Amino acid sequence: MSRRARVTGLVGVGVRQLVGDPARLAFAVTGVAAAVLAITLLFGVGAGVVETGADLTEQSEFDLWMTGGPVELSPTSIGGFRNPVTDAHEMAAAIESQQGVDVAVPMAFQAIYVSTDGQDFETVMGTGVGGSGPLIELQAGTGFTAADTHYADGEYDGELTSEAIIDPGTAAKYNLSVGDTLHVGGTISLARETTFQVIGISPTFRRFHGTNTVALLLSELQTLTGSAANDRATLISVRLADDADQSAVKQRLTTTFPEFDVRTNQEQITAILERQALVIAGGLGLVAFAVLAGMALSLNLFLSLIYQQRLEMATYRAIGGSRESVLVLALVQALTIATVGCLLGLVITPPLAWALDRAATAVTGFEGLVQVPPFAYAIGAGIALVFGVVGTVLATWQVTRHSSVTALTN
């Protein structure tokens, strides 16, 4: 019998053995798929956590970020936060007058109360934006349509525009659309008396916080939360002119405004990552665990598969079958199971990743925490296949060391 015919016959026998025990085949394929999913999904969680901070900052379309220190918790004050930047409107105007600066926008973050009926109130994050405001990605409605009439010549005695932009989550939660009204205030009593009209729906401000957000003009948020006296803001974001040199402008702003910490987008990302060191470490740890888990699952699965067939292999060896033939039979089964299991795991990965991302978004408010990079699919399939073959070879070598049925089965 030719070698080719012999190998073909062994392949046929191996396939028939698999088909003859569908339960074992199903469990084995499911095990490989689980090993692939352990790698792709956990890899996706780790990669998503690491990349989300960078994505959120890049989406802002600003070039520099100027902060005057950390935001302090202030439980006894309206809004709950003590923002570090004072005289925010004047400082933004001074920054905007610098060479190379296109626009400087002060922004403030405070907790506020909202209600659709003036009776049941909940706390959301309020975002105040000054001047022309940041670039807003609108899903419905418009941006702020009126000038900041409330902040008139440096005084907070002008008429309120009473315009608000809400995020899609707030719109869905309260069943709001453009043109509806919303009670807003730093206290419940003030919110009962103050209504704003929803003029736009945008996810832009939710990206700063990862939670439901109502955006107002800065001066109006300051008045509602009692921070108008010192014109407080959280930070000032800066967009540069098209032909401006970022390094030169940053150096100029640092020298002119030494009380501010001036950061580029990349430096702001680094600062965020440093503050979230435990989260990032957890994300990287998930990646490492995913690889180790996939290796362990694949190796253990195929070792168990061969061990379960030790009697059949022992019988075949006892009647004169060679170790090479037994190895071919085992590899045929291993490669078949590994291939089908890998395909199943890769096909299931996208919908499961989407479901996990939706669940993570519902819990944290941040989107994109589960991002499976293309190479994760290759790593998942590669590890399952490689360790499947390695486990099969090791197990086959172990159970075929003897030709005696008694020795092989004891």
For residue 208, pLDDT over 70 is answered with no
Tokens in use for 149?
């009439």
CB 290 within 8 A of CB 349: no
pLDDT at 301: 64
The percentage of the chain sitting over the pLDDT mark of 90, rounded to a whole number, equals 7
Backbone torsions φ then ψ of 122, nearest 5 degrees: -135, 160
Give me the mean pLDDT over the 234-253 stretch.
87
Instruction: Report the SS3 class of residue 257.
Output: coil
Angle at 76 between CA 70 and CA 80, to 5 degrees: 45
Name the pairing type of β-strands 213-217 and 122-129.
Answer: parallel
- Cα 46 to Cα 82, 285, 368, 371: the distances in Å are 33, 7, 11, 8
Q: Which of 22-36, 114-128, 188-202 has the least mean pLDDT?
A: 22-36
3-class SS string, 261-284: EEEEHHHHHHHHHHHCHHHHHHHH
Max CA separation in the chain (angstroms) = 101
Per-residue pLDDT band at 198 (split at 50, 70, 90) = very high
Q: Which of 172, 170, 150 is nearest to 162 (CA)?
A: 150
pLDDT at 238: 87
- Residue 392 contacts by C-beta under 8 Å, 6 or more apart in sequence? 302, 305, 306, 330, 331, 333, 334
Give me the mean pLDDT over the 402-406 stretch.
49
Element housing 122 (H / E):
strand 122-129
pLDDT at 180: 92
Q: Which of 291, 294, 342, 345 is nearest to 35 (CA)?
A: 294
pLDDT at 295: 65
CB 215 within 8 A of CB 166: yes
The amino acid sitting at 398 is: Q
For residue 276, pLDDT over 60 is answered with no
Q: Of 226-230, 242-246, 255-259, which one has max mean pLDDT?
A: 255-259
Per-residue pLDDT band at 164 (split at 50, 70, 90) = very high
Give me the mean pLDDT over the 393-398 stretch.
68
- Residue count (the chain): 410
pLDDT tens for residues 32-89? 777 787 778 777 776 666 666 555 555 556 778 888 765 544 444 555 556 778 888 8
pLDDT at 9: 52
Average pLDDT, the chain: 75
Give me the mean pLDDT over the 134-162 stretch.
78
Question: DSSP for 366-378?
Answer: -S-S----HHHHH
pLDDT at 314: 62
Residue 397 CA from chain centroid, whole number = 45
Give me the mean pLDDT over the 246-266 stretch.
86
Give me the mean pLDDT over the 331-358 stretch.
82
pLDDT at 407: 46
pLDDT at 183: 93
pLDDT at 30: 77
What residue ranges do the domains of the chain occupy?
A: 3-56+278-409, 69-259
CB 143 within 8 A of CB 132: no
pLDDT at 75: 45
Residue 263 CA from chain centroid, whole number = 23
Tokens in use for 30?
């499911």
- Which one-letter DSSP state was computed for residue 84? S
Tokens in use for 310?
């030790």
